[in-house]
């Protein structure tokens, strides 16, 4: 499969982004629904917010996604970065990089190979790297499910000490999109990732999003992400809830 230079450029840019430290709402599935039938697709998103006066706060999020489709072959790369500071104290600094290749052996079924890397300074996650495979079933243009398995390696910095984990997890995902009036759409993406040796150790992610078109390429978007880790490494809350609003540009 030959991807053009744009995909290579996007991968390089993604690597630069993650080296500076990133995170963001993981919306790879909702993006790929809109992109997988197009030969080439790129999406850029940015979220900015701030406050000054009695308290000073600033939030920044940036994301880039690029995909290529050639007959039965489909691939994409996505990177994102989140940074937040309140009263000169950093409250978030995380990163996300994901690459995936799909081979469609039927019109609605595909074999997937994927790799991911992310960091989260606020959770003392120095690095999380994983590789995996999955089976993907597309029930319709707007509803998809997948079942896979991946091997991950994590490194945490706990009180100045390096703590490492090597785990194998299942990955189940389900995504659906509901068209609304005037070009808007409501989407929901759910991930469930249990440890294969201990199902009580699991991670779950659910993202609900609304996207409304302002022009053919520019959209206003709102997102609500709920993340749950049944066994966090640090003494932190098991569930995080995050909301965002911003713009995305697709071409």
Please determine, for residue 38, whether its predicted confidence score (pLDDT) is greater than 80: yes
* Three-state helix/strand/coil letters over 56-78: CEEEEEEEEEEEEEECCEEEEEE
pLDDT(170) > 90: yes
Mean per-residue pLDDT, 55-63: 70
**Residue 166: C-alpha distances to residues 67, 101, 118, 162 (Å):** 30, 24, 15, 13
User: Which band of pLDDT confidence, cut at 50, 70 and 90, is reported for residue 3?
Assistant: very low
Whole-number pLDDT of residue 151: 97
Token digits of residue 55: 């308290």
Q: How many CB atoms are closer than 10 A to CB 246?
A: 20
- Chain segment 118-166, per-residue pLDDT in tens: 888 766 777 889 999 999 999 998 899 999 999 999 898 877 788 888 9
Predicted TM-score (pTM) of the model is: 0.77
Q: Name the band, by pLDDT with cuts 50, 70 and 90, for residue 52.
A: low
123 DSSP 8-state letter: G
- CA separation for the pair 23, 79 (Å, rounded): 8
- Please tell me the predicted confidence (pLDDT) of residue 40: 93
pLDDT in tens, 185-240: 999 999 999 999 999 999 999 999 898 888 888 888 888 889 999 988 777 788 98
Kindly list the distances between the CA atom of residue 213 and the CA atoms of 38, 65, 134, 164, in Å, as whole numbers in the listed order.
Answer: 19, 18, 32, 44
Please tell me the predicted confidence (pLDDT) of residue 60: 73
Homologous superfamily of 5-250? monomeric porin ompg (2.40.160.40)
More confident residue, 77 or 47: 77
**Torsion of Cα atoms, 169 then 15 then 80 then 147, to 10°:** -30
| Contact call for residues 184 and 212 (beta carbons, < 8 A) | yes
């Amino acid at each position: 499969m030959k991807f053009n230079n744009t995909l290579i450029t996007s991968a390089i840019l993604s690597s630069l982004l993650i080296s500076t430290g990133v995170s963001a709402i993981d919306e790879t599935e909702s993006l790929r629904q809109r992109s997988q039938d197009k030969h080439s697709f790129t999406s850029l998103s940015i979220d900015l917010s701030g406050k000054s006066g009695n308290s000073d706060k600033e939030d920044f999020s940036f994301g880039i996604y690029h995909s290529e489709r050639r007959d039965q072959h489909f691939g994409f790369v996505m990177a994102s970065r989140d940074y937040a500071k309140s009263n000169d104290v950093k409250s978030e600094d995380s990163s996300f990089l994901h690459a995936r290749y799909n081979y469609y052996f039927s019109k609605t079924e595909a074999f997937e190979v994927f790799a991911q890397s992310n960091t989260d300074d606020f959770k003392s996650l120095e690095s999380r790297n994983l590789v995996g495979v999955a089976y993907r079933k597309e029930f319709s243009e707007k509803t998809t499910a997948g079942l896979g398995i991946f091997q991950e390696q994590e490194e945490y910095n706990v009180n100045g000490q390096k703590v490492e984990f090597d785990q194998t997890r299942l990955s189940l995902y389900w995504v659906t999109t509901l068209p609304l009036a005037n070009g808007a759409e409501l989407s929901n993406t759910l991930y469930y990732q249990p440890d294969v040796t201990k199902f009580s150790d699991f991670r779950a992610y659910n993202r609900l999003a609304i996207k409304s078109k302002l022009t053919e390429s520019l959209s206003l978007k709102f997102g609500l992400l709920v993340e749950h880790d049944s066994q966090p490494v640090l003494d932190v809350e098991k569930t995080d809830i995050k909301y965002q609003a911003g713009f995305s540009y697709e071409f």
